[in-house]
């Protein structure tokens, strides 16, 4: 069950989710997946967030997520996302997760999450009945 508003408007408090616990046994998570994982700061709590980046790689954090960082410097007279966003290096075997709502506690606060902390992929909201749908 979702308990907070970090994934609004996609998920709301009270939404109940079906989780595929085998989703990442054979392949890594993909950008856009909604994952359930063990909170890196409080092991007895689970969090639900969206995957914004998958390591290894260098990414630029933007207001809407992560984009691969160009290794080339910006040309004079052009705008580069590097001027407005921080650069994050994700180690192999990690994901960068973000809530859909602004100002949420996510990888911007606690950093990348190890694949080993992922419990599964949320694939369906089954309750309340008015919010039933695939994710």
Radius of gyration in angstroms for the set of CA atoms belonging to the chain, rounded to a whole number: 16
Name every residue whose Cβ is closer than 8 Å to that of residue 16 and which is 6 or more positions away in sequence.
1, 2, 125, 126, 127, 128
pLDDT higher than 70, residue 82: no
In sequence order, what E strands does the chain have?
Answer: 16-20, 34-38, 46-54, 57-62, 65-68, 87-90, 94-98, 113-114, 118-127, 133-134
The tokens of 130 are what?
Answer: 């008015």
**Local confidence band at 78 (pLDDT 50, 70, 90 cut-offs):** very low
**Local confidence band at 121 (pLDDT 50, 70, 90 cut-offs):** very high
Q: What is the pLDDT of residues 7-62, one digit of tens each?
A: 999 999 999 999 999 999 999 999 999 999 999 999 999 999 999 999 998 888 77
Look up the pTM and report it. 0.85
Q: Which residue has the tokens 């995957």?
A: 51
CATH number for the domain formed by residue range(s) 16-72+80-134: 2.10.109.10
């Amino acid at each position: 069950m979702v308990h907070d508003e970090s994934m609004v408007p996609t998920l709301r408090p009270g939404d109940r989710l079906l989780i595929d616990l085998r989703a990442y046994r054979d392949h890594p998570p993909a950008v856009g997946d909604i994952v359930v994982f063990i909170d890196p700061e409080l092991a007895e709590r689970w969090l639900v967030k969206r995957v914004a980046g998958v390591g290894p790689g260098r990414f630029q954090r933007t207001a809407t997520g992560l984009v691969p960082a160009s290794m080339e410097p910006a040309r004079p007279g052009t705008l580069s996302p590097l001027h407005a966003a921080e650069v994050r290096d994700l180690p192999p075997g990690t994901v960068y997760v973000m809530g859909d709502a602004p100002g949420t506690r996510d990888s911007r606060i606690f950093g990348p999450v190890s694949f080993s902390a992922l419990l599964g992929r949320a694939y369906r909201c089954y309750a309340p009945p008015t919010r039933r749908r695939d994710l």
